Amino acid sequence: MPQNYPTPSVVLARRIVGLLVLGGLIWGVIAGVSAVFNAISNFFNPQQSLTMVPGDNCQPQQITIEGHVGTAEGVNQGSFNPGDTPYFWFTVTNTGPVDCKFNVGTSVTYYSVTSGSDNVWTSKDCKVSVPRSDTVMDLMPNMPISNPPSDWQRVRSSGSGCSIADGQQVVPAGGASYVLRAEVNGVISENTTQFVLN
């Protein structure tokens, strides 16, 4: 019996269908691999996948904190003579593209002073007469905001307090060098502010 061979048009149609099926399979594999790599990239680089809506709470990665040492008037100063009182404050900046809300209250603000490996003083040891409170602020993009300066009595701190009234020991001066760090709502200052007590 004569064999019925497919016509050229049928062969062409079959090849086209085969290519379409193969192309679909390849596209599916590529899309799946791409999705996996995107998920891994977003996991290790959360800032790249950050999508903010104006008025949302600020994400830690979009906040920068800078600690300052200076005078009661909020003027930066790097050295202090005997009898001069250093004051601490911080500047918070929203580096994101839209405004967001961030707690800068006393309940989440802490300062620490170190000298080399010595943890000299931390405001976490301070006994406060007024309960610590939250202060949630709307931070506009790239507009630094500073809080009022607070004094440091040039003493150490411990579990019993952080001031002269608490019986804390006065720290060495005579050219001794110290470093201030600020922490606000879990974000630690990126800079390390060094100052000298003469």
With left for phi above 0 and alpha for psi between -120 and 50, is residue 91 left, alpha or beta? Answer: beta
Q: What is the pLDDT of residue 140?
A: 97
**Cα separation of the two ends of the chain:** 113
pLDDT the model gives residue 48: 44
**Residue 192 CA from chain centroid, whole number:** 15
Scanning the structure block, which residue is given the tokens 């998920």?
39
Decide if pLDDT at 187 tops 80: yes
| DSSP result, 98-159 | S-EEEE-STTSEEEEEEETTEEEEEGGG---SS-----EEEEPBT--EEPPPEE--SB--BT
Q: What is the pTM of this model?
A: 0.72
Structure confidence at residue 127 (pLDDT): 86
Instruction: Please write the tens of the pLDDT for every residue from 86-113.
Output: 999 999 999 999 999 999 999 999 999 9
pLDDT at 162: 96
List the structure tokens of 51. Answer: 């999508």
Residue 49 confidence (pLDDT): 46
Residues 19-78: tens digit of each pLDDT: 666 666 676 656 655 555 555 555 555 444 456 788 899 999 999 999 999 999 999 999
CA–CA gap between residue 102 and residue 80 (Å, rounded): 33
